[in-house]
Structure 1
Amino acid sequence: MAKITAGNALYLYRLLGRELGVGKQTSMARVAEVLEADGIWPEDLGCADVRALCEALTDFAKVTAFKKGQVFVTVMRNEELDRMLERAGEPTAAEKAASKGKPWKHRKGAKAVKPQKPRHVEKPAAVEPEPEPEPVVEPEPVAEPEPVAVAEEEPLTEAVVEKTVEAETASEPATKVEVAPEPAAEPEPEPKPVPQAEPKPEPVLQAEPEPEPAPAAPEPSIKLTITFDPDPEPEPVPATEPEPVSAAVPTPAPAPAPARPERAHADLPQDFYADVRCPDEQLSTLYQLLPADVDPMATLEEDFRLARSTHALEGTRSNVTFPLRYQRADGSPVTVTLRRTARAQAGKHWTLAEVTGDAPETVGPEGLSRRVEGAWRAFASDEDAAAATSPEDELARYAVLGSWDRLLADLAGVAEAENWGTDLHVLKDYLTMTFHRERLQGRLAMTDDGSSAAFDTGLLPPGGEPICAVLEPRDGDIAWELACFSTNACARAASYGEAPSAQTVIDALLAANSMDLRRLAQRLARNPRTMTLAYDAVADEVRVLLPGKSDALVVDLADNTAQVTGHISLEDAYSCARVVSSDQPGWLIAGLD
């Protein structure tokens, strides 16, 4: 049975509301991360697991279970709890006025509830050795302690234990032992709880007398009583909590470490026109650095959204720096710094404080060039690539992704082992181009109530179901957030049409009446597997690739004739070909080595 005090509930409301957001549906796994990071365990509050704890917090937590076992939690706003949080701070204006001029007069009324962090209850494993001197079963006939059922609830409800201990201390020492069986130092009372509460661990107690656990036992019991004496805000509790948490659960501890900048900077601007003051000096610098046909304000807003989505922000709460899509002469990106001021100017708390780039006088009239990265632009001209939206940016604008490094490592860990190149750059190209294709084909899946969405990554775990990227809704200018990669979600994979047969390509090469193409046709005839298909994300088409001397040849089939339309690097060719199929010829795979 859940044992949650008003102070505990208020603490959890403040914690979950701050970390998860109010009115936002969050996965149960994320709730568990937040609780673990704060050193809170469901067992401390009498709950079997995190879901049971959330279901017990009916005043502000709503648990929703979807098909295939997906469970989400929504923190709902509770005005009464909000008022309690306000009252837990400084006295209200009415209270100050009532006591003004009368320092001896205090406002009467119920004591304000303060947020109280649940105390971590150590598992009985450390306390079991205490009763070892109690093999004597003589106290069993004494049936006096039996009516006190508190011994069983003791590890769950420590507040009750405190009250019981006080009452028992005033009456007899024997009763005190029943409530807190831990003090093995007490002579007579200890045997009573041993046979009753923990008969099974007796053999363990006999085996442990050698390390002399008896002296250690009284210490935790004394700490338990002393810790609960100051009930308002148990400052000593955090001092004892970190030790068991880090010792018992070493692995999950680092999980919450990579905090999301989105939450750390909860008040970051989302609309540059409405939230950021842009001085003429900084705007003038941008106008001189960027091409003449580029809108600096639109660029600032779009690139800041991308930086928030991929956690590419640097700085503090008051100073935030992020990169633009344009690069300097040395290849490094132009950066912009925003500064927050306590006093709003023209209703705006943020100011465009600095633009770091090349000196305007060294930039030509065409402006700085755009930073174009990724294999997706391999088939397009420089002009077409610069005018197109990269699949990477498209995915980041659609959903908050978090750090690319962490995202790619998670996906690579779930999928079958495969060579994804240095820094998993092939996997990044693959994922973003796959999303681009599926979005163009309308294959993104969404629940009827809009509570979640998913898209098929096209990857498989070892012998498992297709891996889907699961998205959950969020407030703000980016409507979705990547929750996890799962095999329980359903979505349709992208299709790339029927591949032309090797014979069709051979006939088209021979019809071109070119010696070079005839040689390609002869080579393809000897080994049809040398031909492969690759995805052109800019044109949204599938291209035919054949091996060149040190690169890949792009062959265009039209009117039953073939023509070589371009050459691309083996590395880019493999990334684009991997989008279509995992089965690639050896000459192309060698491009990754």
Structure 2
Amino acid sequence: MNTVPSPADVARRQSPEIGLVTDGHADRLRAFAFFPYRGPRPSGTVLENVELGRLAWEETLTSLASLAEAEEWTGLNPTGRPLPILDSFLRYTYGRLVMEDKIAVTDDGAFAAFNTGLLSPHAEEIFGFFSRNNHENAQRWVFASWVTESSRDLLRNFDTPPQMAEYVTSASDLVYDWRRELKLAYDHILGDNIDRFPGDIAEQPLRARQALDSAVNLTLRRVRRNHKMVIPQWYPKLGEGGAQFLMPLDLTGDGKADLALVVSAVGDRAYRGHTVLTLDMAYTNARLVARPDSDWLAPSATPIPAPDDIFLDEDDAH
């Protein structure tokens, strides 16, 4: 199981040399590589290019889920999309790897690979392996397969395996410091995101303010006794400043989290609670850092929208 590294792990961490890494990779996974559909095609049926693209991406996600440790990738809120939690995890993991220059390419430019951050059931790291695309006006790479660290293709072409994405730079990014003052951005939380509150509370702004204050105070009391209640997350759009915390909010008083408060450090002495997320949104963001080890945040995801949700035409992209 992937776990959040301890402060000691972070303190010892160094960035290893990983071989040749090229600049200029596309910022979106499906613009970086073409993902072909290799499955069966219904007899007597002509599939549209968009449908082939959808099938190819579903096949790609399913094959990765089958190779990795068993994990809930669908969530409790079906979206009609295959494995939505894994979908978001994979796309944003790739984006982070591009930011960190961790997409590895062989010296001759024939192959590329990246570390998914996932493990097989036997604790082998899993990588995406790609070959050079010979088609013009298309993505630079073609997806070959997901492989483990013992793969002949990986060992033959890379002296050192690509490194996994990292989302924190210090121990303070992982452990919430309850001694810091926490200020809430009420205008944004209650003004712009009141619709995320439970229905009856959302209709009464004054009650929502009272419920929010009460929930935050209750959580802070509990965090002093169990720091694992507050979970680290990474918000992709903020880049290097994306390390944040998620704090459970029991707004109805039934003992269960209704929303997650997003908390960011401001300097060295304070935190700012600047927005609230539904639990499915919170899980998707937290899963990028590690599989949440908390009983209040379970896999129940709504995929994060991204430009590469639009499937590429097979003829144009290969």
TM-score range, shorter chain: 0.5 to 0.7
From 268, 271, 283, the counterpart of 1:562: 271
Match of 1:484 in 2: 145
In structure 2, how many angstroms separate the alpha carbons of the residues matched to 1:481 and 1:523?
49
Work out whether residues 459 and 466 of structure 1, in 8 Å CA contact, stay in contact via their aligned partners in 2.
Answer: yes
Unaligned runs of 5+ in 2: 1-25, 37-55, 75-80, 149-158, 185-212, 251-257, 303-318
**Alignment identity in percent?**
28
Confirm whether residue 470 of structure 1 aligns to residue 123 of structure 2: no
Which residue identity is paired with 2:93? Answer: T
Which residue identity is paired with 1:584? Answer: D
Equivalent positions of 1:212-223 (< 5 A) are none
Q: RCO (CA 8 Å, sep 6+): is it higher in 1 or 2?
A: 2
Match of 1:263 in 2: none
Structure 1 residue 583: Cα displacement: 3.8
Secondary structure of 1:546's partner?
strand
Work out whether residues 534 and 544 of structure 1, in 8 Å CA contact, stay in contact via their aligned partners in 2.
Answer: yes
Which residue identity is paired with 1:528? Answer: H
Which residue identity is paired with 1:520? Answer: T
Decide whether aligned partners of structure 1 residues 479 and 410 sit closer, same or farther in structure 2, where only a CA change above 3 A counts.
Answer: same
Decide whether aligned partners of structure 1 residues 591 and 437 sit closer, same or farther in structure 2, where only a CA change above 3 A counts.
Answer: same
Decide whether aligned partners of structure 1 residues 575 and 502 sit closer, same or farther in structure 2, where only a CA change above 3 A counts.
Answer: closer
From 261, 265, 286, the counterpart of 1:553: 261
Structure 1 residue 545: Cα displacement: 0.6
Work out whether residues 234 and 288 of structure 2, in 8 Å CA contact, stay in contact via their aligned partners in 1.
Answer: yes
In the TM superposition, what whole-angstrom CA distance separates every residue of 1:255-274 from its partner, at most 9, and x where no partner exists?
Answer: xxxxxxxxxxxxxxxxxxxx
From 443, 466, 475, the counterpart of 2:102: 443
For normalisation by structure 1, the TM-score amounts to 0.32
In the TM superposition, what whole-angstrom CA distance separates every residue of 1:186-205 from its partner, at most 9, and x where no partner exists?
Answer: xxxxxxxxxxxxxxxxxxxx
In structure 1, how many angstroms separate the alpha carbons of the residues matched to 2:123 and 2:175?
35
Which structure's CA Rg is the greater one?
A: 1
Which residue identity is paired with 2:59? Answer: R
In structure 2, how many angstroms separate the alpha carbons of the residues matched to 1:511 and 1:543?
14
Which residue identity is paired with 2:281? Answer: D
Decide whether aligned partners of structure 1 residues 591 and 523 sit closer, same or farther in structure 2, where only a CA change above 3 A counts.
Answer: farther
Work out whether residues 286 and 292 of structure 2, in 8 Å CA contact, stay in contact via their aligned partners in 1.
Answer: no
In structure 2, how many angstroms separate the alpha carbons of the residues matched to 1:503 and 1:470?
34
Q: Provide runs of 4+ in structure 1 moved above 6 Å.
A: none
Which residue identity is paired with 1:557? Answer: A
Unaligned runs of 5+ in 1: 1-391
From 167, 173, 192, the counterpart of 1:496: 167
In structure 2, how many angstroms separate the alpha carbons of the residues matched to 1:501 and 1:494?
15
Match of 2:63 in 1: 410
Match of 1:538 in 2: 237
Match of 1:459 in 2: 118
In structure 2, how many angstroms separate the alpha carbons of the residues matched to 1:555 and 1:490?
35
In the TM superposition, what whole-angstrom CA distance separates every residue of 1:502-537 from its partner, at most 9, and x where no partner exists?
Answer: 87520114688x776443321211221111111111
Which residue identity is paired with 1:485? Answer: W
Secondary structure of 1:430's partner?
helix
Equivalent positions of 1:106-121 (< 5 A) are none
Equivalent positions of 1:252-331 (< 5 A) are none
Provide the aligned C-alpha RMSD in A.
Answer: 2.7
Decide whether aligned partners of structure 1 residues 503 and 577 sit closer, same or farther in structure 2, where only a CA change above 3 A counts.
Answer: closer
How many residues align structurally?
Answer: 201
In structure 2, how many angstroms separate the alpha carbons of the residues matched to 1:445 and 1:533?
27
Decide whether aligned partners of structure 1 residues 489 and 401 sit closer, same or farther in structure 2, where only a CA change above 3 A counts.
Answer: farther
In the TM superposition, what whole-angstrom CA distance separates every residue of 1:41-71 from its partner, at most 9, and x where no partner exists?
Answer: xxxxxxxxxxxxxxxxxxxxxxxxxxxxxxx
Secondary structure of 1:404's partner?
helix
Match of 2:32 in 1: 398
Match of 2:179 in 1: 507
In the TM superposition, what whole-angstrom CA distance separates every residue of 1:481-515 from its partner, at most 9, and x where no partner exists?
Answer: 11100119821111112342787520114688x77
Decide whether aligned partners of structure 1 residues 552 and 566 sit closer, same or farther in structure 2, where only a CA change above 3 A counts.
Answer: same
For normalisation by structure 2, the TM-score amounts to 0.58
Range that drifts further, 542-551 or 485-494: 485-494
Decide whether aligned partners of structure 1 residues 510 and 490 sit closer, same or farther in structure 2, where only a CA change above 3 A counts.
Answer: closer
In structure 2, how many angstroms separate the alpha carbons of the residues matched to 1:427 and 1:433?
10
Structure 1 residue 575: Cα displacement: 1.0
Match of 2:225 in 1: 526
Decide whether aligned partners of structure 1 residues 592 and 516 sit closer, same or farther in structure 2, where only a CA change above 3 A counts.
Answer: closer
Work out whether residues 411 and 485 of structure 1, in 8 Å CA contact, stay in contact via their aligned partners in 2.
Answer: yes
In structure 2, how many angstroms separate the alpha carbons of the residues matched to 1:569 and 1:495?
25
In structure 2, how many angstroms separate the alpha carbons of the residues matched to 1:489 and 1:517?
46
